[in-house]
Structures are given as C-alpha cells and as structure tokens.
Amino acid sequence: MKNAVLCLVVLATLAGMVPTASAQTAAPATGRKKRVAVFDFDYATVHSSVAALFGQDVDVGKGITDLLVTDLVKDGSYSVIERKALDKILKEQNFSNSDRADPNSAAKIGKLLGVDAMIVGSITQFGNETKNTNIGGGGGGFGGFGLGGVGHKKSKAIVAVTARLVDIDTGEILGVAEGKGESSRESTSLLGGGGNWHGFGGGAADFGSSDFQSTIIGEAVKAAVDSMSKEVIADKDKLVARTIVVEGLVAAVDSGQIVLNVGAKNGVKVGDQLNVERVTKEIKDPSTGKVIRRLATSVGVVKVTDVDDISSVCTTVSGAGFKVGDAVKTVTQ
C-alpha cells in the first residue's frame, strides 16, 4: 500500500513538471516586417575618381544599392520594396539624381510607396590606399593614370559607404550605418587581381558579378557593403511599423475594374486588398439628429492593381455587384 501511494506522489510531481501542450506551442505574437525602399547611393563626392577608374561615368551608386538590397533580402529582417515599384514612383515625381541623399525627398517618395522608412546613402571613398577621395575632398584619386590604373606602384583598394534610415513622416534620420572595405590584395590596377570585368556598358554597374568581385576594387566594394548591411539590419528595431487606415469610396465600376477615390497620398499601394461595404441604414441620435452609427453589409474584397496620387484601380478578389458610392477600407496593412 505504501509503495502504491509513493508511486502516485511521484507521478503527480512529474505531471506538474511537464508543460501542457498549449504552453509548449505558445509563442509571442510578432508584427509584420518593417518595409523599406533603398535609393541609389549618391556618388557625387567620388565622381571624378570613378570616371578616372572606368574611363567613363559609371553609376556606382546603383551598383552599391543593388548589393545592399541583396544583403537585406537574404537576411529577411526587412521587407524590401522591389526596384520596379520605386523606379515608377521616381519617374512620376521627376526625381533628380541630385536628390539621392536628401532625407526630405526620401520621405516624400516613402509616403507614396507606403514604406516605414527609406534608406539613402553616399559613397565617401572609392579609390586606393594612398589616394582616396573623402567627403569634402575633390579631384581624382588615381593620379591621372586612366582606365583601371594606379600607376606602377602596387596599391590596395579602399571603399567606404554610409547609409541613413529616414522616417518618412518627419524626415528624421533614425539610424546611421557605415561600412569600409579594403582589398586583401595589392595590384597596379584597381580593376586587376583577376577576372575580365566589363560590366559598365551604358553607364550601368553590375557589382554583383563574380568577375567584378574578383577585382581588388570589387573585393573592397563587397566588404564595405557587407559591413554596412550588418549595421542597417541591426537598426531594424529603431523603425516603427506604421499603421495606415485607408477609407474611401468606389468612384466608378467599368468592365470589371473598380476605381476608388483614394490613392498613394492616402497610403494606398499596389497589392493592397480592401473590403467593400454598402451602408444599409444610418442610426441617428434622437436628441441631436447626428449619425452615430452606420449599418453595412459586405459586398466583397478588391485588390489594387494600379495607383496614382488620388485614385486607384482594383480588380475583384471576391464578391460581385459593386456600385458607385460603396465604402472601402483596408483589409491588411
């Protein structure tokens, strides 16, 4: 009898130590990823050095941006707006390359994109270890040696970049990330060290190619961007996921397309889904005559396929019979 009682006590104790199924599976709720878009980096400070290196004007700012976006997408901490959507907005807004590093311009574009923050940046060094072009400096960093050259003296490549996270509501700089990279090898040409890179046709720069990254300048670029990317990722908690409530009306229904009277200025972006409701009754305060509640029935859900500043075009996700005057509001943000 004593042994039986002892066994029951032991079993009861062990049961208290084992968590329940709900406790084992419970996990803290997580919010959505912070949305960001990345401007092409400004390279005005190192423009003459770049021209001396490549023998022509090459948009190294775009090349740096592409590498940063790749790092951010691979990490997964942010939701990064695709370049096509950003380029469309920049074209519509007549965006100038001179605005690349301007926080106020970034904030304006960010609102149209519906992101939580914009990333703007500058290239502050792009040269060799003995003649770099720094912020506030001028002239070439290659001693006039022309395409890919640094003269007869071997030299390491050095690249430095700075990124800033900009609040789109205030234009405030929320965080600064810096990166500096130095090639592990020396060469008489910054485009030397291996490979046969010619990825700058038409002024573009494919910095993600293995041929470019095998050069000593490519090695320095990659190291600088990877270092900067880590700091950008570390700053993710400085951003606040914006809550945007979009409410509007159906303005037109034509050939299966539903046109709304709200657009980018109201926070609408391509891909958003909105509930469509029809008011069936208004409840008024008997003492004041003011409407205190509207009763509505669901008509369906629509998805935004195109947007400008003041309107948007949607297709049907579910439901039918949409009419002008139906109310719309966001399903998700």
Q: Percent of the chain scored above 90 by pLDDT?
A: 41
Q: What is the pLDDT of residue 155?
A: 79
Q: Residue 23 pLDDT more than 50?
A: no
Q: Do 296 and 269 share a structural domain? A: yes
Q: Do 314 and 209 share a structural domain? A: no
Q: Residue 328 pLDDT more than 80?
A: yes
Q: Which residue has the higher pLDDT, 26 or 120?
A: 120
Element (H, E) at 240: none
Q: Do 292 and 206 share a structural domain? A: no
Nearest to 77 by CA among 272, 235, 222: 235
Q: What is the DSSP letter of 235?
A: G
Indicate whether 19 belongs to any domain: no
Output Rg (C-alpha) for the chain, integer angstroms: 28
Of 97-101, 123-127, 168-172, 287-291, minimum mean pLDDT range: 97-101
Q: Do 218 and 100 share a structural domain? A: yes
188, 205, 238: which is the final residue of a domain? Answer: 238
Q: Residue range 277-290: average pLDDT?
A: 92
181, 213, 238: which is the final residue of a domain? Answer: 238
Q: What is the pLDDT of residue 185?
A: 80
Q: Do 213 and 119 share a structural domain? A: yes
213, 238, 263: which is the final residue of a domain? Answer: 238
Indicate whether 20 belongs to any domain: no
Judge contact between 159 and 180, C-beta under 8 A: yes
How many domains does the chain fold into? 2
Amino acid 88 reads: K
Q: Residue 321 pLDDT more than 90?
A: yes
Q: Do 282 and 212 share a structural domain? A: no
SS3 (DSSP) at 58 = coil
Q: Do 263 and 232 share a structural domain? A: no
Q: Do 206 and 138 share a structural domain? A: yes
DSSP strands (E only) in 129-226: 157-167, 173-182
Which CATH number belongs to the domain containing residue 299 in this structure? 2.40.10.410
Q: Which residues pair with 304 in a beta bridge?
A: 314
Judge contact between 148 and 212, C-beta under 8 A: no
Average pLDDT, the chain: 80
Q: Do 212 and 100 share a structural domain? A: yes
Indicate whether 315 belongs to any domain: yes
Q: Residue range 274-300: average pLDDT?
A: 92
Indicate whether 171 belongs to any domain: yes
Which CATH number belongs to the domain containing residue 111 in this structure? 3.40.50.10610
Q: Residue range 313-328: average pLDDT?
A: 95
Of 19-33, 164-178, 200-214, 302-316, minimum mean pLDDT range: 19-33
Q: Residue 308 pLDDT more than 60?
A: yes
Judging by beta carbons within 10 Å of its beta carbon (0-12, 13-18, 19+), is residue 255 exposed, middle or buried?
Answer: exposed
User: Which pLDDT tens digit goes with each residue over 196-218?
Assistant: 555 555 556 678 888 888 888 88
Judge contact between 134 and 193, C-beta under 8 A: no
Q: Could you list the residue range(s) of the whole structural domain that residue 55 is in? A: 34-238
Q: Do 82 and 171 share a structural domain? A: yes
Indicate whether 223 belongs to any domain: yes
Q: What is the pLDDT of residue 51?
A: 86
Residue 165 CA to residue 239 CA, distance in Å, equals: 9
Q: What is the pLDDT of residue 207?
A: 84
Q: How many CA atoms lie within 13 A of 122 on its CB side?
A: 17
User: Which pLDDT tens digit goes with each residue over 126-180?
Assistant: 988 654 444 333 333 333 334 444 445 677 889 999 999 999 988 899 999 999 9
Residue 165 CA to residue 176 CA, distance in Å, equals: 6
Beta pairing class for 291-307 and 312-319: antiparallel
Q: Do 252 and 149 share a structural domain? A: no
Q: Do 277 and 253 share a structural domain? A: yes
* φ and ψ at residue 3, rounded to 5 degrees: -65, -40
Q: Which residue has the higher pLDDT, 264 or 259?
A: 259
Q: Residue range 292-313: average pLDDT?
A: 92
Element (H, E) at 78: strand 78-80
Q: pLDDT grade, residue 29 (50/70/90)?
A: very low
